[in-house]
Structure 1
Amino acid sequence: MKSDRDGINLAAKPSGTGCVECSAAGGWWFHLRRCVECGYIGCCDTSPNQHATKHNAATGHPIITSFEPGERWFYDYRTGQPFAGPKLQGPHAHPLDQPVPGPDGAVPSDWQSLLHE
């Protein structure tokens, strides 16, 4: 089911609880983002690998939302602007017991020096 805004699929469910690519490679992330068109979970631009933005570049899916507990914002890559979006299929964030950065056991001790600004 599509919404009235291009790039939003109200039926898309999250692809998991962590960044798809980082998890597959045994890596780590700082914060997580969710593609609103397909549900792909990727790491934010502050994270070392920036998989959410790479997903946008590879697929053209234009909108992400935060996948962090307590955050409810949307961002449109086409306009470079945040906006208030619709209610999506849950879950709306990674599990509360998942650390930030995460996942537990994969984050190096010098993680702060590896972040992008």
Structure 2
Amino acid sequence: MHARITKGLAVFAAVAAALSISVASAGPAAAVDSVVVCRNTHFDDCIVAGGWVTDPLKNLGSGARFQDSISSIVNMSGSRMCFWEHNGFQGQYIRLDTGQQLADLGASGFNDRISSWKAC
């Protein structure tokens, strides 16, 4: 599932609330399947993506512009997620626990470096 989010934190909050309702009704398997990745800091220009992406150019289709251009992220899955700097879960990575968010990846040295992610 990919949903386009374009208007910052207020829109993000509304989408997150809607997804929480649909995830709860879909059962535990669906809860492990969503992260929010944003091209800008503070959750602007985002998409809701699946729980694992090996290569944004292939896995996100129109979201290919997210390759090495992610500046904020939210883990809405039911698992700890790892975000790697290279495709195919290679190189350095950062971990986010369930529900954790980073509004500015520059603070962690990971701005515009994420290329793949999955539960870890």
What TM-score do you get using the length of structure 2 for normalisation? 0.31
What TM-score do you get using the length of structure 1 for normalisation? 0.32
* Structure of higher CA gyration radius: 1
Higher strand share: 2
Higher helix share: 2
